[in-house]
């Protein structure tokens, strides 16, 4: 078997792309999108008719409404391809507004349900700020499942799990980027700080019985992916899925619930004060969270401008 097929024995493989045409070759279970991926997709000629159709059918409506329908249209196309769930992101500009995030989550789910999709097949992506986590807590109680994104630290992961979030997406590659820039060193294998972060979170969840799923995200190379074989899910870009499918090198399971139960560490109390203090004490997580929100906001604004210009 190639590495992708081997990986699927231990981990649920998720396609990280807005390009639904490219996912058919890799047969992922689930798929994730974000504002940057959608912006990239709609600028390709093959998706132009899709954008034109949405602009025509929602002429005169706000850019916010048009973007919601664009996200849902992409999600529906993806759900025609995959057997599992699609993740659709809320506006990153709402990252510090609990009420507005709740309302956006409800709106997106209502649009999916109006199109005949059950809420069990959709994950609403929300930034892992304190405010975002509180929004997820409310939405989860309404049966709206959440994927907590822009997650870079154990305190964020603990707060998400305690809020009952369905799934978290720790960003392996962006953690790696920060440490590489800060130290000037290359990291590989189990020495990779992004890999270590996900392993720590996975072990904590399994040790203390949290049901929240762990989905490693934002990979820079296949080594990071292979080191996390056995993680609940891994969301992988098409280019890295391709590389895995082209290699026959052996993959072994690196994470398991049984192994995690033997891990060291005490349970951490994580109310708002503790969350903010621990996050602030982690320079990498603080900087990457802020940067990630800025980047997603910028791409949302570019998408808005694209709509205005057309």
Closest among 231, 238, 223 to 199, alpha carbons compared: 231
Helix (H) / strand (E) containing 160: helix 154-162
The answer to whether 14 and 28 are in contact (CB under 8 A) is yes
Residue 224 has pLDDT above 90, yes or no: yes
Q: Which pLDDT score, from 0 to 100, does residue 95 have?
A: 98
Q: How many helices (H) and strands (E) does the chain have?
A: 15, 8
pLDDT digits (tens, 9 = 90+) for 21-74: 788 889 999 999 998 999 999 999 999 899 999 999 999 999 999 999 999 999
Confidence of residue 253 (pLDDT cuts 50, 70, 90): very high
Active site residue 207: no
More confident residue, 99 or 310: 99
Of 24-38, 177-191, 201-215, 219-233, the least confident? 24-38
Q: Which pLDDT score, from 0 to 100, does residue 173 have?
A: 98
Which of the four CATH numbers 3.20.20.70, 3.40.50.12160, 1.10.10.10, 3.40.50.620 does domain 3-309 have?
Answer: 3.20.20.70
The mean pLDDT of 226-247, rounded to a whole number, is 97
Please state the pTM of the whole predicted model: 0.96
Q: Which pLDDT score, from 0 to 100, does residue 119 have?
A: 97
pLDDT digits (tens, 9 = 90+) for 173-196: 999 999 999 999 999 999 999 999
Closest among 150, 26, 9 to 81, alpha carbons compared: 26
Return the ∠ at Cα 24 (arms to 44 and 26), rounded to 5°: 115
pLDDT digits (tens, 9 = 90+) for 104-162: 999 999 999 999 999 999 999 999 999 999 999 999 999 999 999 999 999 999 999 99
User: How far is the C-alpha of 304 from the C-alpha of 310, rounded, in Å?
Assistant: 10
Q: Which pLDDT score, from 0 to 100, does residue 24 have?
A: 86
Catalytic hit among 104, 125, 206, 288: 125
Average pLDDT, the chain: 96
């Amino acid at each position: 078997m190639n590495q992708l097929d081997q990986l699927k024995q231990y981990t649920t493989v998720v396609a990280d792309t807005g390009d639904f045409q490219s996912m058919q070759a890799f047969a992922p279970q689930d798929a994730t999108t974000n504002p940057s991926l959608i912006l990239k997709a709609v600028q390709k000629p093959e998706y132009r008719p899709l954008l034109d159709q949405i602009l025509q059918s929602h002429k005169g409506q706000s850019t916010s409404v048009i973007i919601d329908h664009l996200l849902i249209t992409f999600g529906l196309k993806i759900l025609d391809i995959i057997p599992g769930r699609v993740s659709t992101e809320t506006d990153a500009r709402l990252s510090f507004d609990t009420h507005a995030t709740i309302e956006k989550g409800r709106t997106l789910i209502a649009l999916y349900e109006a199109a005949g999709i059950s809420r069990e097949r959709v994950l609403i992506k929300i930034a892992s700020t304190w405010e975002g986590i509180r929004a997820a807590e409310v939405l989860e109680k309404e049966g709206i499942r959440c994927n907590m994104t822009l997650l870079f630290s154990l305190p964020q992961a603990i707060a998400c799990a305690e809020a009952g979030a369905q799934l978290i997406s720790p960003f392996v590659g962006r953690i790696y980027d920060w440490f590489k820039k800060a130290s000037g060193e290359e990291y590989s294998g189990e020495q990779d700080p992004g890999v270590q972060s996900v392993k720590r979170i996975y072990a904590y969840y399994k040790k203390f019985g949290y049901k929240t799923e762990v989905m490693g995200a934002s990979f820079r190379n296949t080594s990071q992916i292979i080191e996390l074989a056995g993680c609940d899910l891994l969301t992988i870009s098409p280019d890295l899925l391709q590389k895995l499918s082209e290699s026959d090198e052996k993959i072994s399971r690196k994470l398991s619930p049984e192994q995690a139960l033997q891990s060291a560490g005490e349970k951490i109390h994580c109310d708002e004060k503790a969350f903010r203090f621990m996050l602030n004490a982690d320079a990498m997580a603080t900087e990457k969270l802020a940067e990630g929100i800025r980047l997603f906001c910028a791409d949302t604004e570019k998408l808005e401008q694209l709509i205005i210009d057309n």
